[in-house]
């Protein structure tokens, strides 16, 4: 069957309309504000800090200063263990999330809970994120030397092991550069003060930028 000139013109117009629709869809997706959820404990929640000085707020400001259109959602709850984070995952990490930071495990360690239990809960969290194709950054924690070398060895292995198993990005130690420094922590010696938060954000920022790169793609 031979197409008439009118049919050919109509076909070309239809292709052009489809191409324009695709371009508009891509542009809209690029303009979308990314939603980065930080699922964690008091270190994420901003325990002991005034509004606007916690990890998620400072991280969002740092990212926006670099040109990112992003909303960092504070899904941190003080005192929570990895199992607690798992229990509320489904409502703390909504389906429209674009990326995820997992900061859990410190309270498991401080309470001397089984490293195996913490690992199991964190694994379940990462499994959920993986099933949702959600780019994830796992932040590590280190055991206190007071818990003994055997406990420390088992606990510290949790994070690199899981990052490798689930193929997610790993930031080895959330408190890098801040832990055990009285000048950078509150009086309890456990939670960062505003200066400590600034250092945490400065050091983790490249890893978060890489995470957002995956979310955009």
Closest CA to 43 of 178, 149, 203: 178
Distance CA 72, CA 50 (A): 17
- Among 41, 42, 57, 108, the one annotated catalytic: 42
Name beta bridge partners: 76: 40
- Among 41, 57, 156, 191, the one annotated catalytic: 191
Whether 144 is catalytic: no
Task: Provide the angle, in degrees to the nearest 10, between the axes of the packed helices 115-131 and 158-166.
Answer: 20
- Among 29, 96, 188, 217, the one annotated catalytic: 188
Whether 191 is catalytic: yes
Mapping DSSP to helix (H, G, I), strand (E, B) and coil, where does residue 14 land? helix
Whether 133 is catalytic: no
Distance CA 40, CA 81 (A): 9
80: number of Cβ within 10 Å = 22
- Ranges of beta strands (E only) in 29-178 are 34-40, 70-76, 99-103, 136-139, 169-171
- Ranges of beta strands (E only) in the chain are 34-40, 70-76, 99-103, 136-139, 169-171
**Residues recognised as catalytic:** 42, 188, 191
């Amino acid at each position: 069957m031979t197409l008439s000139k009118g049919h050919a013109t109509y076909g070309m117009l239809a292709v052009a309309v489809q191409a324009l629709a695709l371009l508009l869809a891509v542009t809209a997706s690029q303009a979308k504000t990314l939603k980065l959820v930080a699922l964690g404990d008091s270190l994420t929640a901003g325990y002991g800090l005034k509004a606007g000085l916690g990890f998620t707020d400072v991280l969002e400001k740092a990212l926006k200063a670099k040109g990112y259109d992003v909303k960092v959602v504070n899904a941190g709850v003080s005192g929570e263990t990895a199992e607690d984070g798992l229990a509320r995952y489904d409502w703390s990490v909504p389906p429209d999330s674009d990326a995820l930071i997992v900061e859990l495990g410190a309270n498991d360690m401080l309470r001397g809970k089984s490293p195996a239990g913490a690992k199991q809960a964190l694994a379940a969290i990462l499994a959920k994120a993986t099933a949702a194709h959600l780019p994830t950054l796992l932040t590590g924690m280190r055991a206190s030397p007071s818990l003994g070398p055997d406990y420390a060895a088992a606990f510290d292995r949790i994070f690199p092991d899981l990052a490798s198993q689930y193929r997610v990005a790993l930031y080895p130690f959330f408190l890098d550069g801040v832990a055990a420094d009285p000048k950078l922590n509150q009086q309890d010696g456990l939670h960062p003060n505003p200066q400590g938060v600034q250092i945490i954000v400065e050091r983790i920022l490249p890893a978060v930028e890489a995470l957002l790169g995956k979310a955009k793609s």
